[in-house]
Structure 1
C-alpha cells in the first residue's frame, strides 16, 4: 500500500458518509465530515508529491479549508467569506490553466471549436443567472463575476485538453465540469427552487471536483519534475 493511500481512502469514505448523513438529516455529522474532506486530500497530495508543496498550491488548500470553516460557523459573514474563498481558488486555478494555454498554437479549425465551447458555457452561465433568483445573500454583480471567472476557467481548461489530451488536462476538464454542475445545482436549490436531489448532486460533484483538482495538481508537478530532470 502506498503511503498516500490511507488519506485517499479517508477522503472517499468521509465523502460517502457525508452524503448518507445528509440523507438522514444529521446536519451536525455533515459539518463534522466536511471538515475532514480537505485535510485528507491535502495529506494525499503532500505525500504523493514526495512531501513537497509550493506556497501557491498550499494556499489553494487553505482557502478551501477556510471556506468549509465559514460554512461550519454559519454566522452572518459566512456566505460572503465562503464565496470569496471559492472565487480566489477559481482565480488561482485560472492562473495555472492560462500558463499552459499561452504556449499552445491554434489553427482555424481550433478557433471554431473554441467559439462553440465559449458559446455553450456562456449560454449555461447566462441561463442560470437569468433565473428569477430569490433571497440572494450578496449583490447580484458578485454572482455575475463568479460566473464569468468560472466560465473562463472552464473554457481555458477544456481547450487545453482538446488541444493536448494529457492526463493532467483531462483531470482539469473533469474538475471544471464538476465545478459547473456543483454551482448550478447550488444556485438552483439555494435561491430558486429547493430540491433534495439538487442539493445531493451539488455535494457529490463538489467532492469529485476536489478529487480531480488534486489529480490535476499532482500531474502538473510530475510534468514540471520531468522537465527539470531533462
Structure 2
C-alpha cells in the first residue's frame, strides 16, 4: 500500500478552502477549491485500495464530482441534473450496501428503531414535497424518487450496522448519515430558511460523506461471502 497521507492532506486542504470560500462568500476561491475535493479523495482511494480499481465505485464518486461542478456553475438552473447525477451515485452505493448486507438480527430495539427512522424520514420527505414551490411542483416525481432512494440507502445502512457493529458498517452508516444531513440542510437552506450556517453544515457534511464513502469501500474487502460482480 502506498503512502496515502499526501492525498488525505490534499483532501483536507481542498475541503477547508472550499468551506472558507463559502463562509467568506469568495466565489473565485470556491471555483478553484471545490473541484479539487473529489479528485483528492479519489486519489486517496487509489492509494489505500488493496485490489484493482472498482469502476462502479469510481463512477459513483465521479457522478458526485459532476453534481458538484453543476452546483458551482449553475446552482439554480442545473438543479434537475444535480439530482439525477447524485441519485445515480446513491443507487450505486445502495447496490453495494444491499450486496454487503449482514445477517439480520431481529430485536425489539432494532425493529422499533428502523420503524421510527422510516416514519421520521418519510415525514420529512413529504413535508418537503408539500412545500408550495414551483421547482418542487414541476419536478415532483423526480424529488419523490430522489427522496425514496436516499431513504432506502439510509435504512439499509442502519439495518446493516444494527445487525453487525463492525467498522465496515460503521463507515457505511456514517456515509449515509452525512449524505442525509447534507441533503436535508440543502433543502432547508434552499426552500425554507436561508442562513449561511445551514449552507456551511451542508457543505461540511457533503465532504465528510466522501471521506466515509472511501473508508467504507476500502474496509468492505474484509467482509465474507462477497458478491463476485461487485469486487
TM-score normalised to structure 1 length: 0.88
Residues 226 and 187 (structure 1), Cα distance of their counterparts in 2 relative to 1, 3 Å cut: closer
What is the deviation of 1:51? 6.5
- Which residue number in structure 1 is paired with residue 29 of structure 2? 29
Number of matched pairs: 227
Relative contact order (C-alpha < 8 Å, sep 6+): which is higher?
A: 2
The 5 A counterparts of 1:35-184 are 35-50=35-50, 52-74=52-74, 78-101=78-101, 104-107=103-106, 109=108, 110-133=110-133, 135-136=135-136, 139-184=139-184
What is the deviation of 1:81? 2.0
Q: Distance in 2 between matches of 1:78 and 1:128?
A: 19
Contact 1:121 1:155 (C-alpha < 8 Å) held by counterparts: no
What is the deviation of 1:163? 0.8
Residues 163 and 226 (structure 1), Cα distance of their counterparts in 2 relative to 1, 3 Å cut: closer
What is the deviation of 1:63? 0.9
Residues 130 and 137 (structure 1), Cα distance of their counterparts in 2 relative to 1, 3 Å cut: closer
Instruction: Point out where structure 1 has 5 or more consecutive residues left out of the alignment.
Output: none
Instruction: Point out where structure 2 has 5 or more consecutive residues left out of the alignment.
Output: none
C-alpha offsets along residues 86-109 of structure 1, whole Å, 9 cap, x if unaligned? 0000111111111123x5234353
Q: Distance in 2 between matches of 1:119 and 1:148?
A: 12
C-alpha offsets along residues 72-92 of structure 1, whole Å, 9 cap, x if unaligned? 432886322221110000111
CA RMSD, Structure 1 to Structure 2 (Å): 2.6
Residues 156 and 225 (structure 1), Cα distance of their counterparts in 2 relative to 1, 3 Å cut: closer
- Which residue number in structure 1 is paired with residue 10 of structure 2? 10
3-state SS, counterpart of residue 87 of structure 1: helix
3-state SS, counterpart of residue 220 of structure 1: helix
